[in-house]
Structure 1
Amino acid sequence: MIRIFRLSVYAFIILMGCQTVESENTKTTLFADSVELKIREFQDSRNTPAIISYLNNENARYRLQAARALASLQDSSAVEMLEVLLNDQDSSVRKAAAFSLGMTRDTIAVAPILRALKEEQIPVVRRELLEALGRVIDQPRLILLQQQEASSMPEKEGLAWGLYRAGRRNVFDQFSIEIALSLLNPQNSYRTRLGASNFLIRTRDVDNCAFQDQIRGLSAGEKAAAVRMNLVRSLGSCDKPETIEYLKKTALGDQDYRVRVNAVSALERSAALANDASLLVALLNDTQVNVAIQTAEAIDRSDNIQFNAEMQSLATEHPNQRVRGSLLSGLVKTDNEKWLPVVMEKYGAETDPYAKAYLLTAAAAGNNATQFLAEHIFSDEETVVNSAAMNGFIVSGTRQDILATAAVQPVILRALYSNDIVKTFQALTVVNDNYETYESLLDADELNKLVEENEDEFLVYNVQKLLDRLNGIESEEFAYENKQEIDWQGLQQLSENPKAVIHTTKGDIFLDLFPEDAPGSVINFINLARSGYYNGIRFHRVVPNFVIQAGCDRGDGWGGGTYAIRTEISGRQYEAGTVGMASAGKDTESTQWFITHFPTHHLDDDYTVFAKVTDGMEVVHQIEVGDAINSIEIFNSSEL
């Protein structure tokens, strides 16, 4: 799984001819080549015409770089020229063109990809074409993907991933399911089986339960944990007794905790957790905390859990604060009068800000907690506590339908003018949803003050939008203006194979950085690390069997820089231990990043990959919300 990455080294042929790129060993330092640097700058500025002008360059390396650059732009105006590259005499250029055609996500790319598949002979290029076809194919032409010849291992891989990419857009039929199940044959490669299993869990309307006996058998014999966890998860909502028993056995006994987490998730969707208290207690006591967290949160989401005495005891005594919070939330829902006072009492004795936040969320699950929550919205406690109180206040108020009442209005208006991103955003939503009630109460001077004083572009835009509504003006569409330029000089000073070590309170996590694939994201991360920005920052988000996330200076997920950098899509995929940039949409990345627990390929086409864990995955699996980053060190390859 570990990939050795060498900064600024390519092995491409210089002259066009019948030879492929792999036939030469000419090495060029990427960021010292003025032409390649110019292509990168055009990519960052989203200048499609300028990049297209390099697609017919006589230098194969520049054609390759331009084709790759277009993947991030996802601009269908490049389809015609990318099709020309599908006939390029250089196989790596053809492969890059195929990837970028798929990334346009436009059905106009279907025809050129199909034409290329008729002529292409090299299996690895055919693999890329098949996956690209899955990204752009529509339902009427799906059969054209399904009938593609796939005899070699790369081609089978491409077909599996093509079906998955189509399924992500809900483009599938019964034949797709049958092909995917056939590709799960143990004799096929891991990558083929992984793609096919992803199809089963990421295709929204697929009926896996019609094939549950076959899937159970495949899962029981599957050796790769990443494939097994997908197969287990695909059995969610299936209610056959044999399937339920298999999922229970897997949840309790699979050697990989991530498979156990997925079994709990499947059991929750099958509604098979609620009536088995002994199973719930065993799962809550699992030695891997993420299994306990997944179980507790499933309990909290259920409407018919019967809490026995042991489960009630765990709600106050479990060693993990997040598990306690979720169990208390479930208990508050079942008996508000008994358990809300318990939550308030526990809150008074608690000192950890994240434990307090979980308790506030638990309080919000019941009635009669709005006053308690309001007291902590504007307190001098840590930001994460204030944010949890505000979120809980809105959740509780929405459920009770009281957010427009006279008793609540002063809290909403105070939050609106607070100039705190969480309070103001939440209040904006309430005001806009209940505009007729709040219109006469709004203070235009306070709103103008927010616009003038806040540095967050999106918050300012939304406040201005409310002002425009108040004044009867139609607002313009939002567009980020504060884009950070890439520090090319800093990148050129890096050695090959730059690395990072994240020193956390749970241990060290070692990374290989990928400046060739994501130069803007890598140098942004490096500069922030060297400035000390990440020192003391906590992991504010941990989703069991998904990601750990950090980089928020507020600790509640709403913080970060007042600038944005570009999304950089390179074709690298989200395997276990992949490090990606968090975002709120394309080209909105800033300071937050995440590390994956296991392959999460639904992120591949939308989130920048800029690093990979090479050592310390055991630490990643132990990280909990509230764990801190002590510091991040950046090293050249020779220094580690």
Structure 2
Amino acid sequence: MARLPAAVSAGFLLVSACARTVPQPPPAQPPVDVKQRIQDWEDRRSLGGGELVRLATSAPDAAVRVRALRALARIQDVATLDAVVAGLTAQDKAVRDEAAFAAGELALSWEPLPEDARTALTGALVRAEATEADGWVRITMLEALGKLATPGAVEVLTARLSPANGPWSEAAATALGVAARKAGAAAVADVPLEAIRALLKPRERIEVNLAGAYLLATAKRPDSVETLVSCLANPHPDVVALCVKGLGDVGSPRDTLALRMSLGNAAPRVVAEAARALAKLAAKCEAHSPCAPLMTLEDTGHWAKQVAEGKAAQGHALLAVAQQGLPLRGRPVLSRLRSALAEADRAAVSDEAHADLAWLDCRFAAAMDRQQGALEQVLQCGYGRVPEARWLALGLHEVAQFKGTSTGAAFAVPYLNHASPIVRGAALDALSERPVPEAMAPVRALIGGGDAVVAGLAAATAGKLKDAGALPAVEALAARVPTEPDLAEAVAGALVALQGRAAEARLREWLMHPHANVRRVAAESLTSLTGAPVRSNRVELPADTYRPAAAAPGTTLTLRTRKGGITVLLDPDAPLTGGNLVALAKQGYFRGITFHRVVPDFVAQGGDPRGDGEGGPGHSIRCEMTRRRYERGTVGMALSGKDTGGSQFFFTHSPQPHLDGRYTAFGEVVSGMDVVDALLEGTVIDDVLVGIRAP
């Protein structure tokens, strides 16, 4: 193993020890005219004929260089690697800091960096970090190394874990956790467990515990069970939730008692994580012997009573169990929990409580259907209050995950003609996973249908069916990709499956498409098809590309829901994202839209007019990666690839460092976090109001 560069002086370490907890001063601003030019280049994904790189590397004004580097970070073009690397050793610390952030953004490119670029960037960051004299900048460099997740990066981060009370342990642990999320737990397998354990000891700064727990949860090490159990006594709910999560991944049914204690935690997100962990451990029980996790879950019907009383946040534990699912021997538990929901429904205090309980009943019914791989229980779920399209789509998506032996999903074929596009899409999901020959003809018909989302899903399913007869319809759909870029991913997979190398010419045309995600899809498909690495070129967007007016500083969005209000303060560092949502809100776009996806202790996502996660406003906006971290209550844009933002957004229930720099973080919840905690799938947004927060 190569010898790591020596650390900087101990005197500097003392000065920097609190760098992460002290607010960083706002950066200086470049002149207005230069700032506008850079903004225009950024919006068009243009390098300005080389002028943007020149400004990033040699502009006399450090503020101009910082703003130019932020634009390069958002453009994510490997051709700008040298400019980013040069910034790492600039004289001005603000420039070095922004260059380190840009290096992390290059590492997170949706179209992955070539191996030689990853190696070069790792080397540059390792050298710069070893001699960096500013605490803020050094932390940003460590974060960038975590996003790279290369062996050289992990080596440096491992060295910075110790001592646990040192200035870099928190940043290094978090970065190692990010590396594990990106490259897999094996990437951090050699990190000494003792170094991680030291971070979890009681200390004044709970952030160090949080970083250690995050690393421990993502590392998924079988030898960490004892440490994870000890961690459950930590006073901070997010630390406990992470250790519970880790125990669910690497523990055994013997750890049920420890998890049972967490079921009584005051924070609903911890309870939800414990319920999910027990569901995971139930799958590890030996056949024909008592299963402690299942016996513990049997005694959780009181959560339904709390939902009936209007305490919807307690429903997250039930939702977590239903989403995770139970082995077939856990079917009686699911049935008893449904009975508890039905009993609670009879005493529900409001229409909203009735709606939540009805949906949770369908969630458990669908979990039971997933166990057997066929629709049965969902056909009578929801007490008659859940619309047919919702429970049918849910059931079809769930049975698509069936892991047992089966003759296929022939039961889904009739639903290909359902009136609701979300049901047709769900039926295609089931058939894509378990294809049957009798689906070929109706799937072909859907490829030429009017709903673009369903047409794309049908094309992908035709590829799974190996239906050569569907090729003309797939080719006709492919011709729509230049004007309907959202079709690219599904159509590319179908072309590769049905045409093989004959699809190469069309895919190479897509390498020059203005939409970044189309180019990414084409490059990945061609790499798979040809067996040789293929990359796309950066393409400038047309001058008339959609660009809403920027939201004014201090702009707020207040979501009125049936559970209460949630007020979000927009981040001025993401003017395009904020302006887009403000414009949609003023049009009344969000009225009646639901939160279609809620994952307890992770996110609540809404903003999709279709209600299945596939919808949007008909336009997309560019990503605007900010320096805002995904803490509890951060608001981010949902994406399916680079520059694919539209109207879907999400709230984070807890810190999610692996999302930092990957999804545009454009604001924070300033009131109504209790409402965010109470959101369940199907919660309706009555309206979104635009306001200005008083200074």
> Does TM-score exceed 0.5, indicating one fold?
yes
Q: Tell me the residue number matched to 1:144.
A: 156
Q: Tell me the residue number matched to 2:188.
A: 172
Q: 1:219 aligns with which of 203, 221, 232?
A: 232
Question: What secondary structure, in the 3-state scheme, does the structure 1 residue paired with 2:572 have?
Answer: coil
The whole-number CA distance in structure 1 between the counterparts of 2:609 and 2:284 is 37
The whole-number CA distance in structure 2 between the counterparts of 1:430 and 1:71 is 36
Q: 1:323 aligns with which of 343, 352, 360?
A: 360
Q: Tell me the residue number matched to 1:511.
A: 568
Question: What secondary structure, in the 3-state scheme, does the structure 2 residue paired with 1:104 have?
Answer: helix
8 Å CA contact 1:515, 1:523 repeated in 2 = no
The whole-number CA distance in structure 2 between the counterparts of 1:372 and 1:433 is 17
8 Å CA contact 2:276, 2:317 repeated in 1 = no
Return closer, same or farther for 1:142/1:330 CA change in 2, 3 Å cut-off. Answer: closer
Question: What secondary structure, in the 3-state scheme, does the structure 2 residue paired with 1:476 have?
Answer: helix
The whole-number CA distance in structure 1 between the counterparts of 2:426 and 2:658 is 28
- 2:138 corresponds to 1:126: yes
The whole-number CA distance in structure 2 between the counterparts of 1:27 and 1:600 is 29
Alignment of 1:165-314 (within 5 A): 165-168=178-181, 169-170=183-184, 171-187=187-203, 189-203=205-219, 206-207=220-221, 209-220=222-233, 222-239=234-251, 243-250=255-262, 252-271=263-282, 275-276=291-292, 277-286=294-303, 287=306, 288-298=314-324, 300-307=325-332, 310-311=336-337, 313-314=339-340
Q: Tell me the residue number matched to 2:665.
A: 609
**CA offsets per residue over residues 588-638 of structure 1, 9 Å max, x none?**
112211111111222113111111111011111112222222221222233
Q: 1:457 aligns with which of 465, 468, 485?
A: 485
Question: What secondary structure, in the 3-state scheme, does the structure 1 residue paired with 2:463 have?
Answer: helix
- 2:626 corresponds to 1:591: no
Q: Which moved more, 1:506-515 or 1:346-355?
A: 346-355
Alignment of 1:426-575 (within 5 A): 426-435=457-466, 438-440=467-469, 448=476, 451=479, 456-459=484-487, 472=502, 474=504, 475-477=506-508, 478=510, 481=514, 490-491=549-550, 494-516=551-573, 518-575=574-631
The alpha-carbon deviation at position 33 of structure 1 amounts to 0.8
The whole-number CA distance in structure 2 between the counterparts of 1:118 and 1:394 is 50
Return closer, same or farther for 1:135/1:177 CA change in 2, 3 Å cut-off. Answer: farther
The alpha-carbon deviation at position 417 of structure 1 amounts to 2.4
Return closer, same or farther for 1:235/1:84 CA change in 2, 3 Å cut-off. Answer: same
8 Å CA contact 2:412, 2:430 repeated in 1 = no
Name the aligned partner's letter for residue 95 of structure 2: V
Structure 1: runs of 5 or more not aligned: 1-21
Alignment of 1:367-386 (within 5 A): 373-380=412-419, 383=420, 386=421
The whole-number CA distance in structure 1 between the counterparts of 2:664 and 2:90 is 28
Return closer, same or farther for 1:315/1:161 CA change in 2, 3 Å cut-off. Answer: closer
Name the aligned partner's letter for residue 270 of structure 1: L
The alpha-carbon deviation at position 307 of structure 1 amounts to 0.6
Name the aligned partner's letter for residue 282 of structure 2: A
Question: What secondary structure, in the 3-state scheme, does the structure 1 residue paired with 2:213 have?
Answer: helix
8 Å CA contact 1:153, 1:189 repeated in 2 = no
8 Å CA contact 2:616, 2:646 repeated in 1 = yes
The alpha-carbon deviation at position 498 of structure 1 amounts to 1.6
The whole-number CA distance in structure 2 between the counterparts of 1:161 and 1:397 is 37
Q: Tell me the residue number matched to 1:387.
A: 422
8 Å CA contact 1:101, 1:132 repeated in 2 = yes
Q: Tell me the residue number matched to 1:7.
A: none
The whole-number CA distance in structure 1 between the counterparts of 2:152 and 2:658 is 23
Q: 2:59 aligns with which of 52, 57, 60?
A: 57
Return closer, same or farther for 1:394/1:217 CA change in 2, 3 Å cut-off. Answer: closer
Question: What secondary structure, in the 3-state scheme, does the structure 1 residue paired with 2:670 have?
Answer: strand
8 Å CA contact 1:71, 1:570 repeated in 2 = no
The alpha-carbon deviation at position 535 of structure 1 amounts to 1.9
The alpha-carbon deviation at position 173 of structure 1 amounts to 3.4
Q: 2:452 aligns with which of 417, 421, 425?
A: 421
8 Å CA contact 2:35, 2:64 repeated in 1 = yes
Question: What secondary structure, in the 3-state scheme, does the structure 1 residue paired with 2:678 have?
Answer: coil
Structure 2: runs of 5 or more not aligned: 1-22, 108-117, 286-290, 307-313, 346-356, 516-540
The alpha-carbon deviation at position 240 of structure 1 amounts to 5.4
TM-score under structure 1 normalisation? 0.82
Q: Tell me the residue number matched to 1:578.
A: 634
Question: What secondary structure, in the 3-state scheme, does the structure 2 residue paired with 1:635 have?
Answer: strand
The whole-number CA distance in structure 2 between the counterparts of 1:462 and 1:234 is 34
- 2:78 corresponds to 1:42: no
Name the aligned partner's letter for residue 490 of structure 1: A
The alpha-carbon deviation at position 368 of structure 1 amounts to 10
Return closer, same or farther for 1:565/1:448 CA change in 2, 3 Å cut-off. Answer: same
8 Å CA contact 1:322, 1:358 repeated in 2 = no
Matched pairs, number: 594
The alpha-carbon deviation at position 145 of structure 1 amounts to 3.4
TM-score under structure 2 normalisation? 0.76
**CA RMSD, 1 decimal:** 3.7
Name the aligned partner's letter for residue 43 of structure 1: E
Name the aligned partner's letter for residue 626 of structure 1: G
The alpha-carbon deviation at position 453 of structure 1 amounts to 11
Q: Tell me the residue number matched to 1:3.
A: none
The whole-number CA distance in structure 1 between the counterparts of 2:145 and 2:399 is 49
The alpha-carbon deviation at position 323 of structure 1 amounts to 2.7
The whole-number CA distance in structure 2 between the counterparts of 1:418 and 1:455 is 17
8 Å CA contact 1:586, 1:606 repeated in 2 = no
The whole-number CA distance in structure 2 between the counterparts of 1:420 and 1:128 is 44
Name the aligned partner's letter for residue 192 of structure 1: V
**CA offsets per residue over residues 21-44 of structure 1, 9 Å max, x none?**
x9999975x7x8111122222223
